[in-house]
Structure 1
Amino acid sequence: MEEQNLGAETERVGNRLIESSATSESGTVRTNDIETYYVRRGDGPPIVFIHGMAMSASEWEPQMEALGDEYTVVAYDVRGHGHTGGSDRDSYTMELYAADLDALLAALNVENPVLCGLSMGGCIAQMYAATYPEKVAGLVVSDTFTAAPLPFTGRLIFANLRFFGLLDRFIRYTTLNRFQTWVGNRFSPGVAGDGTTTQRLMEAAPTISHGEFVKIANSMARFPNSDLDASQITVPTLVMHGEDLPAVLRDMHGRLAEELTNADVEFTVIPDAGHASNIDNPDFFSTAVREFLARIASKRSQ
């Protein structure tokens, strides 16, 4: 869904170049050595959405539309993706993505948000919440991964991410869907998901260069070897996954929940959904997030 930004005006405010209208604001802000693209709507407690690998902020359009009536909703393009684009750095890490997010929140004056990340975005959200626990009000991660020790099948997922990052054809976004299908056929038959919508969102976003995608894929492949300590996450956390996610990926969510020893953890399975559960079943996903946000607010008021 494309935002109708009638009567929009563009101006520079400090280090931010913004385009605003009565309904939304979008623009770029300096975060470390890059200009990060963001979209912000609504008014209320903030929730920040972090997209998956090879996607963009537009992945979260259904949730921003659904939750913008009650919350300040922010989505952004992660380094290397979308309108943010790449950088001269030789490699990327989850720690770097978390530092970018911290700079973005500071520039936008967003304080104590709930973070909501899917797939790679969930890894970034975990890293941020573990690194800056005092800056987060809550955490939602869906269809994501864990840095906990994994069995062979789990390690194979990350090994294949590194391999696919080396393929030029991957940048045409066909291999990503094939990879998901291969995982499902190999480890769990009958994986469902709205691959058509995912493909459309990928193709609508600015093209990722081969060099950038290699850095992005490698950052995911190295995630199990990162410095993430999930026990440092102390905020209420909602862990979700699509019911048709391959078994090896479902198991990662159980392992993640076990690692969150100092967080109040809730677990939800999203029906009729695969890896991109916020797209496969957006109404259920948005409602689950809204109810989680209400529970956080209720606990704070007690």
Structure 2
Amino acid sequence: MIWVPKEQALSPRRVYVDGVRTRLVEAGPPAAPPVVLLHGVGGHLEAWTHTIDALAVDHRVFAYDFPGHGWSSAPAGRSYEVEGYVRHLSVLLDHLGLEAPDLVGLSLGGWVGAAFARRFPSGLRRLVLVAPGGVRADPTVMNAIRTLSAAATEAPTEKSVRERLAWLMADPATVTADLVGARLAIYRRPGASEAMERVLCLQDPEVRARNLLSPVDWAQITAPTLVVWGDRDATGPQSVGQELAGWIPGARFAPMAGVGHWPQFEDPATFNALVRAFLQEKRI
């Protein structure tokens, strides 16, 4: 199953960047301000199903599958640590001719977006972090991600995939049949289990430790930043997000109620309004 935007008559395309055949979708007016959406670990661009069209009203929106994720390729021998994703993002932006887009990153995507913002401070305009990784190493959370993800790719069934997705939500009923179908097709593709093992490296304590961002690292982000965190997020309480926002100069904290790790999917109306308002501030 391939996701097609509800309102935009577009289909995903593939671009070859940084040695990775990368699945990408684009929506919105070509001359509008660009925004790039970054998904979480083990995920794919369908995480943004309810966001792309909402932002495409007045933005040129890009969403893509990370290396080793979704329908993008998973070359052996490349890095699946944070710097590997940052490099791929940098090359992708160059390929698309995007000089300073807004970045919206969810979980691993937020970790990548934050690391990119530190390394290339002039490479983005604004940053939205949605329950980003890279803040801490919680063994319980890391084990849940590894166990559920591995189970879903080693024996991909509707049940195993739904259980992986339900962990992300406050209300498991939020997991739609379309979302399950999209992920099930991805996890059944040849090599999916091997790709998942590579991308789960950040759930290894030693690997994660060397990729974590310290408070000093977060403080080096200069882009205007919004931190969004659900009050029923299985990866950590809202206090983690509030503390994180305090480390980033001038960052704003936006708590969301009644949602888990995927607020953009569980409460898209609230999420989209928050993000659009933030991205539209002081636009030059």
Q: TM-score, normalised by structure 1?
A: 0.77
| Residues paired across the two proteins, number | 270
1:103 counterpart = 2:91: yes
1:253 counterpart = 2:241: yes
Structure 2, unaligned runs of 5 or more: none
Q: 1:201 to 1:216 in 2, by over 3 A?
A: same
Helix, strand or coil at the partner of 1:133: coil
1:30 counterpart = 2:16: yes
CA distance in 1, matches of 2:269, 2:77: 38
- Higher mean C-alpha displacement, 52-61 vs 111-120: 52-61
**In percent, how many aligned pairs have the same letter?**
24
RMSD of aligned residue pairs (Cα, Å): 3.0
- Is contact 1:51-1:118 (8 Å) kept? yes
Structure number with larger C-alpha Rg: 1
1:235 counterpart = 2:219: no
CA distance in 1, matches of 2:208, 2:102: 22
Post-superposition CA distance 1:227-267 (Å, at most 9, x none): 6421221111110022222483434313322332xx32111
1:1-302 residue pairs with structure 2 within 5 A? Answer: 2-3=4-5, 23-24=9-10, 26-43=12-29, 44-89=32-77, 91-148=79-136, 154-162=138-146, 167=151, 172=156, 178=163, 191-197=170-176, 198-205=179-186, 207=188, 209-221=192-204, 222-226=207-211, 228=213, 229-246=217-234, 248-260=236-248, 263-297=249-283, 301=284
- Is contact 2:36-2:63 (8 Å) kept? yes
Pairwise CA distance, 1:181? 6.9
Q: TM-score, normalised by structure 2?
A: 0.82
CA distance in 1, matches of 2:46, 2:152: 24
CA distance in 2, matches of 1:291, 1:230: 23
Helix, strand or coil at the partner of 1:116: strand
CA distance in 1, matches of 2:263, 2:9: 26
Helix, strand or coil at the partner of 1:288: helix
Helix, strand or coil at the partner of 1:135: coil
Give the aligned residue type for 2:196. F
Structure 1, unaligned runs of 5 or more: 6-21, 185-190
- Is contact 1:111-1:135 (8 Å) kept? yes
- Is contact 2:82-2:115 (8 Å) kept? yes
Helix, strand or coil at the partner of 2:195: helix
Q: 1:145 to 1:249 in 2, by over 3 A?
A: farther
Q: 1:37 to 1:287 in 2, by over 3 A?
A: same
Q: 1:31 to 1:219 in 2, by over 3 A?
A: farther
Pairwise CA distance, 1:168? 7.0
CA distance in 1, matches of 2:154, 2:263: 22
Pairwise CA distance, 1:207? 3.6
Normalized per residue, the structure richer in strand is 1
CA distance in 1, matches of 2:237, 2:188: 27
Q: 1:90 to 1:73 in 2, by over 3 A?
A: closer
Q: 1:201 to 1:280 in 2, by over 3 A?
A: farther
- Is contact 1:242-1:274 (8 Å) kept? yes
CA distance in 1, matches of 2:4, 2:152: 30
Q: 1:205 to 1:98 in 2, by over 3 A?
A: same
- Is contact 1:117-1:124 (8 Å) kept? yes
CA distance in 2, matches of 1:140, 1:84: 24
- Is contact 2:5-2:49 (8 Å) kept? no
- Higher mean C-alpha displacement, 67-76 vs 22-31: 22-31
CA distance in 1, matches of 2:79, 2:151: 17
